């Protein structure tokens, strides 16, 4: 269903005190509030979850033509951003978006995984999933965007999909995970190796066994190559691929010819406090960033919320820099495509840009609407998507 919509374009920057405030470059009248949003790498397609009372719709906007397509209507829930992290399920090549929609009943969900083709804004349903935690819904694209792995925490398996030359997702296959049958897996996360032919599967097996099961698969031959069990780490682990589980994070560092599991070199100054956090990796694989939200300092009850950002060098697992900003912290952040900058939102209306090489904050600015996503466009611009009342805004900031 194609519906005309109201789109206005603005370009301006105002100054409030010493902090610039970005006016929106794009304003969409949505008719209801938005909870999630994703912008394509070329800025021509915006996909958002719109709340309609207690129900949710998935809507795709063709920005240049000023029209929209309703892809999902009146679902109990729609997810296009992972629950365990802040980075969207947009494929690395920007051509496909993974999502889930479904129903909630008596503490359980029934979900359908789907793919949105960014080029023509069409939706294809892939497979069904059930469970009790929406956190368990996730998936992972290969680096070239042509393969997709979707875990099933109830069936203890992985669904594998391939995208053909015509852009269609075909050839579904399943990988049965190793387990003893006595424990229902709590979380499953996946990551493809650099060439897309190997798949790493990390399974949080719950506190009954208190460990991660790590499996390495050949996705072409569809056979398991390795299996390892690791204790749940008591500290944050550093890596190329982040896997989140409850209060713990395990990371694999995937390198050519193999992979490693490494702990951080931590000091009292760089120790990561417990609590919620979000892990990002730069596109070149050299820098990891952790954004932690601290509601108050342990030694200062009643103090204002703060956000701490930690940068580490992946190669030698050493701490590079720590930043502290006022604000309760948000899950929104992104590295630039050249890996030179890390952008994050310490509060709903504040954005900071970190120069990774210099280890310093390069820019700070405000946006008027509440931030719901940050990404880097292929033009080199930062795109900040916000929502206010019944509108979605897109503000852009050029790093070049």
Q: How many CB atoms lie within 10 A of CB 302?
A: 6
**Whole-number percent of the chain with pLDDT over 90:** 26
Please give the CATH number for the structural domain made up of 275-367.
Answer: 2.40.10.480
Overall average pLDDT of the 301-311 stretch: 68
User: Where are the domains positioned within the chain?
Assistant: 1-138+378-400, 141-263, 275-367
Residue 250, pLDDT score: 41
Residue 391, pLDDT score: 92
Residue 306, pLDDT score: 73
- Does 302 score more than 60 pLDDT? no
In three-state secondary structure terms, 12 is coil
How many CA atoms are closer than 13 Å to the CA of 172, on its beta-carbon side? 10
How many CA atoms are closer than 13 Å to the CA of 307, on its beta-carbon side? 23
Q: What burial letters (b/e) apply to 278-299, b meaning 16+ CB within 10 Å? A: bbbbbeebebbbbbbbbeeeee
Q: Domain 141-263: which CATH class?
A: mainly beta
In this structure, of 65-69, 298-302, 367-371, the range with the lowest mean pLDDT score is: 298-302
Distances (CA, A) of 111 to 101, 162, 192, 201: 5, 21, 24, 21
Overall average pLDDT of the 71-90 stretch: 79
Task: Please indicate, yes or no, whether the overall pTM of this predicted structure exceeds 0.75.
Answer: yes
How many Å apart are CA 40 and CA 110, to the nearest integer? 28
Q: Does 141-263 match 275-367 in CATH topology?
A: no
pLDDT band per the 50, 70, 90 thresholds, residue 336: confident
pLDDT per position as a tens digit, 138-166:
888 988 899 999 988 888 889 999 999 88
Q: Rounded to 5 degrees, what are φ and ψ at 317?
A: 55, 35
DSSP state of 11: -
pLDDT per position as a tens digit, 189-210:
788 877 888 888 877 665 555 5
In three-state secondary structure terms, 86 is coil
Q: Which of 196-205, 292-301, 366-375 has the highest mean pLDDT?
A: 366-375
- Does 357 score more than 50 pLDDT? yes
Residue 113, pLDDT score: 95
Higher pLDDT, 1 or 294: 294
| Cβ atoms 42, 60 nearer than 8 A | no
How many Å apart are CA 68 and CA 63, to the nearest integer? 8
pLDDT per position as a tens digit, 132-142:
777 778 888 98
Per-residue H/E/C for 143-190: CCCCEEEEEECCCCEEEEEEECCCCCEEEEEEEECCCCCCCCCCEEEE
Residues in the chain: 400
Strand duo 360-367 + 19-22: pairing: parallel
What average pLDDT does the structure give for the chain?
75
How many CA atoms are closer than 13 Å to the CA of 55, on its beta-carbon side? 7
- Residues facing 354 on adjacent strands: 342, 361
How many Å apart are CA 356 and CA 359, to the nearest integer? 5
pLDDT band per the 50, 70, 90 thresholds, residue 344: confident
The number of angstroms, rounded, from the C-alpha of 108 to the middle of its chain's C-alpha atoms is 23
Overall average pLDDT of the 314-341 stretch: 74
Residue 254: its H or E element: strand 248-255
Residue 214: its H or E element: strand 211-218
* Cα separation of the two ends of the chain: 39
pLDDT band per the 50, 70, 90 thresholds, residue 247: very low
In this structure, of 64-68, 169-173, 178-182, 233-237, the range with the lowest mean pLDDT score is: 233-237
Considering only CA atoms, which of 327, 340, 338, 341 is closest in space to residue 374?
A: 341
């Amino acid at each position: 269903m194609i519906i005309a919509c109201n789109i206005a374009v603005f370009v301006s920057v105002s100054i409030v005190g010493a902090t610039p405030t970005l006016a929106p470059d794009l304003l969409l009248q949505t008719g209801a509030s938005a909870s999630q949003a994703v912008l394509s790498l070329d800025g021509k397609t915006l996909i958002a979850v719109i709340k309609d009372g207690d129900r949710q719709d998935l809507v795709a906007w063709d920005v240049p033509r000023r029209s929209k397509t309703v892809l999902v209507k009146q679902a109990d829930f729609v997810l296009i951003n992972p629950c365990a992290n802040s980075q969207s399920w947009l494929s690395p090549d920007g051509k496909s978006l993974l999502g889930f929609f479904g129903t909630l009943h008596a503490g359980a969900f029934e979900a359908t995984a789907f793919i949105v083709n960014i080029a023509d804004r069409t939706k294809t349903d892939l497979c069904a999933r059930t469970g009790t935690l929406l956190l368990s819904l996730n998936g992972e694209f290969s680096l070239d965007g042509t393969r997709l792995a979707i875990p099933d925490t109830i069936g203890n398996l992985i669904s594998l999909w391939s995208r053909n030359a015509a852009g269609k997702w075909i050839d579904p296959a399943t990988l049965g995970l190793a387990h003893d049958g006595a424990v229902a897996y709590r979380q499953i996360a996946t990551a493809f190796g650099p060439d897309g032919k190997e798949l790493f599967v990390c399974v949080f097996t719950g506190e009954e066994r208190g460990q991660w099961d790590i499996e390495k698969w050949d996705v072409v031959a569809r056979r398991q190559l390795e299996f390892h069990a690791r204790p749940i780490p008591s500290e944050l682990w550093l890596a190329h691929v982040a896997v989140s589980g409850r209060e713990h994070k395990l990371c694999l560092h995937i390198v050519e010819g193999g992979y490693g599991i490494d702990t951080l070199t931590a000091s009292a100054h760089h120790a990561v406090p417990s609590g919620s956090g979000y892990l990002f990796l730069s596109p070149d694989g050299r820098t990891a960033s952790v954004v932690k939200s601290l509601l108050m300092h342990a030694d200062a009850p009643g103090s204002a919320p703060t956000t701490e950002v930690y940068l580490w060098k992946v190669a030698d697992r050493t701490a590079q820099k720590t930043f502290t900003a006022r604000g309760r912290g948000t899950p929104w952040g992104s590295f630039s495509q050249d890996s030179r900058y890390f952008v994050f939102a310490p509060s709903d209306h504040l954005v900071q840009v970190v120069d990774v090489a210099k280890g310093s904050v390069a820019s700070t600015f405000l946006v008027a609407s509440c931030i719901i996503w940050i990404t880097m466009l292929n033009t080199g611009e930062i795109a900040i998507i916000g929502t206010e009342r019944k509108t979605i805004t897109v503000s852009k900031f050029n790093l070049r």
